[in-house]
Structure 1
Amino acid sequence: MGHSRLRKLLFDDSDEDEIMRRVLKGSTSQRKRRLHIERDRLASHKRLYLDYFADTPIYPPHLFRRRFRMSRSLFLCIQSKIETYEPYFIQKRDNAQRLGLSSLQKITATLRMLAYGVAVDFMDEYVRIGESTTIESSKKFVKAVVDIFSKEYLRSPKNEDIARLLVNGERRGFPGTLESIDCMHWK
């Protein structure tokens, strides 16, 4: 607040309540306002659900696998464990009693960013999720995945694991390799 404005308020003979209201309210020219974009979260969730997660989804399983880099059942397993572990991913109501983003939206945005290396802003067009929310979702998702799955999947391989991976690699025509993280296109 500028000195001249403060001086005006100090020497103002209005009642104290009115002065406090003006001080607390501030002027719009002095306060930085965030741009609000109405994204219609519910319509976005419904579209995402119908596209990939309904009993008879619009897109078949092979397209789900190609777009998410995993099977639908694996996605739903991860979603279930993440929701149980991290309350941030449970859909809640905001202060205006509107439903917030669903875990499908938050996890889809995060996984697509990780799978395709796209910019945070890119997810807004389909998933209808803002940049700051996508970043927060990604951070919480990665932390939850590490906490939940690290003992089983992010550990060093045991001798049995190495032997199994070498056999699989050799059977697929890659002798001596332990396997790539993304070999989904190989039959």
Structure 2
Amino acid sequence: MARTFFRKLLTCLSSEDELDVVLNDKADGQSSRHRANRQRRKFIWRDHIQRQEGLFRDYFAENPVYLSNLFRRRFQMSRPLFLRILNEVESYEPYFNQRRDNAGRLGLSSMQNITTTLRMLTYEALSSS
């Protein structure tokens, strides 16, 4: 397909200057007049680090805010079982590890990812019964 495009292009264009303009526009993906109209995506700042610190302080610190009976009520498992699941999932699946995005910002931590996943699974199990 690209080969036929360039053949048509070479036969239709008469000067080298026109060929350079068309090839540069195609290489950029958009012509210069379309670049000015490009809209930026909206970014919503969510402080993942502060929320990670809060989650850790509330449930996993040496003296957590919420005791083990409240942890069990929220997560439907003991804290040591949760931490064991967290360690196994981190070592098995790299999706749950904390990464940086293309802008260099830190994403969710492993603990936040696992917590969210377990809550989603719990709500799905409760809603289907």
Answer yes or no: same fold by TM over 0.5: yes
Q: Indicate yes or no: 2:35 matched with 1:25.
A: yes
* 1:73 equivalent in structure 2: 80
1:108 Cα deviation from its structure 2 partner = 0.6
Q: Indicate yes or no: 2:106 matched with 1:99.
A: yes
* 1:16 equivalent in structure 2: 21
Letter of the structure 2 residue corresponding to residue 27 of structure 1: N
- In 2, the alpha carbon distance for the partners of 1:74 and 1:34 equals 40
**Gap change, CA 1:61 and 1:117, over 3 Å in 2:** same
Which structure 2 residue ranges, 5 or more long, are not aligned? 1-17
- In 2, the alpha carbon distance for the partners of 1:37 and 1:27 equals 22
Map 1:132-143 → 2, pairs under 5 A: none
Map 1:153-168 → 2, pairs under 5 A: none
**TM-score with structure 1 length normalisation?**
0.47
* 2:50 equivalent in structure 1: 43
- In 1, the alpha carbon distance for the partners of 2:38 and 2:96 equals 34
1:37 Cα deviation from its structure 2 partner = 1.4
* 2:7 equivalent in structure 1: none
Indicate the RMSD between aligned Cα atoms, in angstroms.
Answer: 2.8
1:106 Cα deviation from its structure 2 partner = 0.8
* 2:14 equivalent in structure 1: none
- In 2, the alpha carbon distance for the partners of 1:98 and 1:104 equals 17
- In 2, the alpha carbon distance for the partners of 1:53 and 1:97 equals 27
Match for residue 58 of structure 1 among 65, 80, 88 = 65
* 2:97 equivalent in structure 1: 90
- In 1, the alpha carbon distance for the partners of 2:78 and 2:35 equals 52
Query: Higher helix fraction: Structure 1 or Structure 2?
Result: 2
- In 2, the alpha carbon distance for the partners of 1:40 and 1:91 equals 14
- In 2, the alpha carbon distance for the partners of 1:103 and 1:62 equals 23
- In 2, the alpha carbon distance for the partners of 1:114 and 1:34 equals 30
Aligned length in residues: 101
Structure 1 runs, 4 residues or longer, greater than 4 Å off: none
